[in-house]
Chains A and B, each alone.
Chain A
Amino acid sequence: MNYKLIMRLLGAVLWYEGLMMLPSLGVALYYGEGDATAFALSIGILLAAGRALRRLTPRNRPMQPREGFAAVAIIWLFISAFGALPFVLSGAIPNCVDALFECASGFTTTGSTLVANVEALPHGILFWRSFTHLLGGMGVLVLAMALMPTMGAGTVYLLKAESPGPTPGKLLPKLGATAKVLYLIYILMTVLLTVLLRLAGMPLFDAAIHAMGTAGTGGFSNRNLSVGAYANPMAEWIIAAFMLLFGINFTLYFYLFVQRDIRRAAKNEEFGLYLVVIGLATGIIALLVWGQHGPVTSLRHAFFQVTSIISTSGFTTVNFDLWPELARCLLLCLMALGACAGSTGGGLKVVRLLLLGKGMFRATGRIIHPRMVRPVKMDGKTLSDEVVHTVLVFTVGFIGLVVLGTLILALDDFDFLTTFSAALTAMGNVGPGLGLVGPMGNFAAFSPLSKLTLALLMIIGRLEIFPVLLLFSRETWRKTA
């Protein structure tokens, strides 16, 4: 491991994190609720730490894969810890463990909160909480790549480690240009959503908070009742539609807006399956809750809740914990499934389900025709068996970690549904679970150990398991020439 290289990179990211707190400082100053000093202090600490680490001069050697992956995991742990500073310093969330949980939940775009009454938090803190969604959604290192002039060879491993999906890659020849285009599309869509929500009648601050929460598919709201608090059907439709949009692979937007190639975007198999799943789930749930809410409202609630859960945002308009069992089970499945690869959402990703299905289809075909040669194809391209295999390993690892998390959480002695859905919602970066941690509950009741476990699960889930698992291997830390 080239420690200095990683530390230097960490320094750069912390420095940028300090800069990214400036908007929150502005909000805090504007509202004058006493949280501005906490931000000023945090920014000072981050800039100083970043400055000091950036002074290191690593040996001039290209980044190796393990350094890239380990760097991403380490950086995510650190930004979560440092990002929690304003929460602690301002006294909004005085407990360190709680603050870390909240910040990890923000950066990983989970949106699980342990603040019972968010409406009492100062505006600056609320803004920072949601701003972490915006940063974490597309990725802090992707942002660093877009801003930094050049980071040398091997940087592509950082993109691979941070971008979700089985085969992340570049859209443009230059990594920096790819990162810039992705962020540009992302920011434009966020601004558009903010404007639309403002037009739909939300206050500007609330519109911005919910736009950032939607963009990162996070789910932090500044209201206790989440989006439901506004009783604004128009805003609910807009947010639902954008949650669907932010759950789509951003490569498709690149094809659509930059290359103007609609056919290529429309032919994407993952996108098709994503729409089918949303359509089916919305239909079934709407029928199931017809009796509770009436025709139009049930359709709206069903669509909102389905897009919110599948995109792993976690906004709520209604307490879906009171819905019929089948509806709740469906939502639980969507929590595990998650959004498309290359989107800002979490979970297993639709593409992996698609590949697993194709692998299964091939396995049954092999029983009938033992000598059949049929490679797994997607979007007209043949995928190597290694890709399929990695998808399988990832899925098993995902399930295994949820089970492990459930076992640790079980120490707190809550009911099974609460315990399991808490672990799943953390791993899938969704936000709300069922039972005690349902849409109307929060995570405050858990023990510090459970909170740390959940925070770690969120980061593991956001980085798609392997980068974080790498840190647990002794081989990783060994010094090499």
Chain B
Amino acid sequence: MRIIIVGDGKVGYTLAEQLSKEKHDVVIVDKNEAALARADAALDVLCVHGNGASIPTLREAGAGHCDLLIAATTNDEMNMICCLLGRRLGAKHTVARIRDPEYEQELAVLKAELDLNLVINPERAAAEEIARLLRVQDANTVESFAHGRVEILSFRVQPDDPVVGKPLAQLTPRIPVDVLFCAMERAGVVSIPDGATSFLPGDTVYIVGPPAMGNAFFRYLGRSTEKVRSVIIIGGGRITRYLTRLLDPYGMSVKIIELNPAVADALGGEFSDALVIRGDGTEQDLLLNEGLEQADAFVALTDRDEENLMAALFAHQRRVPRVITKINRMNYSDIIHTMGIDCVITPKMIAANSIERYVRALSNSEGSAMETLYRILGGKAEAMEFGVSPLSRLHGQPLRALPLKKGVLIAALARGDRILIPRGDTVIQPGDHVIVIACGLTVMDLNDLLEGKG
């Protein structure tokens, strides 16, 4: 597919990198020549210098015959104009990043009027993810599939966990909860566990199952399962505003610490239930005064990665049970991991993931449409959901007999209202939704899972 990406920022660059690797023809448009020079040198893409909301620039980038136009500049209005023009010029599909909470109400109207195929709001998506994490105890990440009926959770193995040191073949029958261990990372190496695998303290493990499984499993591990009742958030940006709205129905008490008086005042006016504190959220005295040690969760959402990290480390050291940090730069995720901070949210990854999912669904040839895609383990593996079409070659025989490629795992099946954790004798039927884990290969279609194409 020919894909134009307007805006060579964090999201644009990540997307261009992914999509060009997947053999799409990618054109990047940006006003900033330095950013373009970097993309031009590192990626196999075409760079066009100019304003993405001007017709000549869009023409030069080939908007007239492109399959997809993605507007991901920092400016919402610019993205809308860009998609509108692109559509008029003949772009087949358009995706815009619109993230101002002010537009939230009118989004449906805007989407229809501008004829947008997809609207991406990284901050809202990040807030949703944080809210999910606060609801489920002890998981470092939570990804939901099949309209929330299946979840993939991850946790870090602790030395006194009952899962340590036993091969999975012996361990699984003893676990009272129906879960499947679907992926693991040890010392930076990602793999799919099998019967002979045994976990060591420090491993990051992914489990899949219905939503109720999470808390039951952590109870089995002997972890604390008290509900989060109080949350401290530092930074009063867009994510905070979305998050506060999302947390409202759960009756959590939310405390927001914001440095900028004007922003703090605006937040105070917007949320009457939340307590807004004006002050520097990285100051230790302030945090302790505001009851950091009594809080159930601490979320660092300031603009600066360094401040988020420092504040999160401080909260971690003060034994706050849940610590969630926003990090904009992906490059250091491995290092952050070694410091004990497990819950890291990267909005640009979330945005790139949802666009990526859309692209794969578009380029899907045989109709087994990809419905959900999450990149897990810092992008080293992918978790995907597919609807099984009658054309796929997966159904009709037990899983044991399928020639699955190395590095893929069928993690769960959603059939009607039931969730099945697949075993060797499970048979996939058309109409099922399957959740697949793949590491080390790109899966565009369900048939990609099988050895020997065609």
Residue ranges of A at the interface with B (Cβ–Cβ < 8 Å): 62, 65, 153-157, 169-175, 177, 381, 384
Contacts and interface: CB of A to CB of B under 8 A. Distances in A.
Given A156-B41, A170-B46, 19 more contacts: A62-B42, A153-B42, A153-B43, A153-B44, A154-B41, A154-B42, A156-B40, A156-B44, A157-B41, A169-B40, A169-B47, A172-B46, A173-B2, A173-B25, A173-B26, A173-B27, A177-B25, A381-B49, A384-B33
Sort A-B residue pairs by CB-CB distance and give the 8 closest, nearest first. Answer: A173-B25, A173-B46, A170-B46, A173-B26, A175-B44, A173-B45, A173-B27, A153-B42
B42 to A, nearest CB: 6
B14 interface: no
Nearest to A380: B56
A153 B45 CA distance: 10
A173 B20 contact: yes
12 contacts: A153-B42, A156-B40, A156-B44, A157-B41, A172-B25, A172-B46, A173-B20, A173-B25, A173-B46, A174-B25, A174-B44, A384-B33
Interface in B19-76: 20, 25-27, 33, 40-47, 49
A65 B38 CA distance: 12
A65 B41 contact: yes
A109 to B, nearest CB: 27
A-side interface mostly: loop
Q: How large is the interface on B (under 10, 10 to 19, 20 to 34, 35 or more residues)?
A: 10 to 19
A175 B41 CA distance: 11
Nearest to B43: A153
Interface of B: 2, 20, 25-27, 33, 40-47, 49
A177 B25 CA distance: 10
Contacts of B27: 173
B42 A155 contact: no
A216 B137 CA distance: 70
A172 B48 CA distance: 11
Nearest to B19: A173
Nearest to B44: A175
Nearest to B16: A173
B33, B40, B41, B43 pick with most chain A CB within 10 angstroms: B41
Nearest to B33: A384
A157 B41 CA distance: 7
Contacts of B46: 170-173
Nearest to A157: B41
Nearest to A151: B44
B133 to A, nearest CB: 34
B227 to A, nearest CB: 47
Contacts of B44: 153, 155-156, 173-175
Contacts of A171: 46
A153, A171, A172, A173 pick with most chain B CB within 10 angstroms: A173
A177 B20 CA distance: 13
B342 to A, nearest CB: 28
A174 B27 CA distance: 9
A172 B42 CA distance: 16
A155 B2 CA distance: 21
Contacts of A172: 25, 46
Contacts of B26: 173
